[in-house]
Structure 1
């Protein structure tokens, strides 16, 4: 019996408009290889290589080789997959071979760390991105995708869907803002390299991404909601849950990134989101309770020291994915299907 992730890989391999033949005999450099996006990109490319015999080679940048071995298991020793240990906040990464494609997915995303070590988090973002752009420049890569975030928009309360040019307010007095502000600067750095050096680079502004393939230590709200429902426990919110969330299923996000490698316009940014998956945090919690539990209720319990958790400010952001759809991308999974697949994955892994 196929796992839910294997079924996703099979769907990806059959996606119209993704010309995987262009990846034949190409070399990929992927950072953040032990994160959700990086690990799924690697697994997806290796599945494609298994089924289409493309002759792909992948250089996977990690900080912890033991963690990588635990995530990739039998694939860890696969000759197609070469792990490169580096701290992108400090190390100036250099490879002995030229690469054709770069996907820069490494970033500090844990809210607690963004609050407690904002300097280090920003250093990782800025130094890591510059290092990747220098490799892209030297190797004349066919395309680099910088994995950005919807948080780049800051606080947008216009009431309409936000296109890639509709940036909002970021509070520079809040050290948590180091995350969206460094994402903005990294995108600008990508555009500068495209303009000055002709580097082929695009930015993928990912909505909150979840589904099959999430890692065991995942602790963002979507995973917390799922675990509570699986245990028939109440889903507890530590905010009023008024912030409007934008979500995209894991494999839909992967297909978008691969499409941008093939068709993205250099110097441009693209929203990666499913507009149908737009709800408030409280509404999403209620959706999970109603559809995946017999007993769970949604409870609001705001601690007195809530600020120390580093929650992002409430926003009414609603991402417009028109620009990506015009390249040929179609998201296939709504919220209920995303949760169904993720919960099935969590139960079996």
Structure 2
């Protein structure tokens, strides 16, 4: 999700995840459909356990600036479990970690589209804090394959599965990698750290390997190499 969007529209963010999940679960119940929830690694908050397994309950500030998104996703998961228990809806929950790829929105607010756009336009790459905080980035093609397997395989009713790439990288390292791949001369601009920004984020994907026979196959370098050309073309259109 775009941090800019949920910070700008906190109530709408919570309505989409709560009422949207409630109504679509009702449709799944009505039609006997299988239901896959696109949840998020944000349910773990600022985790104190690394890597994060599915059985970890998380470490979430319920009233912080990120809470509207974190708690909305946690509530959506709870709704899925309740509909499974009370109405027998066949639910599966995908906890998605930091996905990226072509066609992400310019100005999205997430690290990869922001850094690529800034690098291509010769602007400073904005890093909040000292850049030692980590994330684990999963290329969209790998994500889609995992979600497809979670949706279509039998015997997974009620399962919660982390979907992400366990290769952890610092935000500073990501910025430097994008600078190199775009051949940008943009400087790095360090800003004060964001409130409640998680220090580390890395999925334990053992369950995905066991249940889905899935592991991500795209390295960060490969994924960025397939993502940057789309941003380059799009940025040139914007400038024209």
TM-score when normalising by structure 2: 0.87
Which residue is 1:80 aligned to?
none
Query: What are the Cα deviations for residues 148-198 of structure 1, in whole angstroms up to 9, with x where unaligned?
Result: 11111011123x311101122111232431211111111111011112211
Q: Is the 8 A contact 1:232 1:293 kept in 2?
A: no
Q: Work out whether 1:127 is the aligned partner of 2:19.
A: yes
Which residue is 1:269 aligned to?
160
Count of residues paired in the alignment: 232
What SS is found at the alignment partner of 1:214?
A: coil
Counterpart mapping for 1:19-38 below 5 A: none
Once residues 200 and 216 of structure 2 are traced to their aligned partners in structure 1, the CA distance between those partners, rounded to angstroms, is 22
Q: Work out whether 1:136 is the aligned partner of 2:28.
A: yes
Q: Work out whether 1:166 is the aligned partner of 2:56.
A: yes
- Bigger radius of gyration: 1
Once residues 244 and 147 of structure 1 are traced to their aligned partners in structure 2, the CA distance between those partners, rounded to angstroms, is 22
Alpha carbons of structure 1 residues 347 and 117: separation in structure 2 relative to 1, 3 Å: closer
Once residues 223 and 338 of structure 1 are traced to their aligned partners in structure 2, the CA distance between those partners, rounded to angstroms, is 13
Q: Calculate the aligned-residue CA RMSD, in Å.
A: 2.1
Please state how far the C-alpha of 1:239 moved relative to its aligned partner: 2.9
Q: Work out whether 1:114 is the aligned partner of 2:6.
A: yes
Which residue is 2:174 aligned to?
284
Unaligned runs of 5+ in 1: 1-108
Once residues 238 and 161 of structure 1 are traced to their aligned partners in structure 2, the CA distance between those partners, rounded to angstroms, is 23
Which residue is 2:201 aligned to?
317
TM-score when normalising by structure 1: 0.62
Unaligned runs of 5+ in 2: 235-240
Once residues 153 and 314 of structure 1 are traced to their aligned partners in structure 2, the CA distance between those partners, rounded to angstroms, is 9
Q: Is the 8 A contact 2:45 2:198 kept in 1?
A: no
Alpha carbons of structure 1 residues 337 and 182: separation in structure 2 relative to 1, 3 Å: same
Please state how far the C-alpha of 1:134 moved relative to its aligned partner: 0.5
Please state how far the C-alpha of 1:222 moved relative to its aligned partner: 0.5
Q: Is the 8 A contact 1:252 1:331 kept in 2?
A: yes
Which residue is 2:95 aligned to?
205
What SS is found at the alignment partner of 2:149?
A: helix
What SS is found at the alignment partner of 1:202?
A: strand
Q: Which has the higher contact order (CA 8 A, sep 6+)?
A: 2
Counterpart mapping for 1:1-349 below 5 A: 109-141=1-33, 143-158=34-49, 160-216=50-106, 218-263=108-153, 265-276=156-167, 278-302=168-192, 312-326=196-210, 327-349=212-234
Once residues 336 and 119 of structure 1 are traced to their aligned partners in structure 2, the CA distance between those partners, rounded to angstroms, is 37
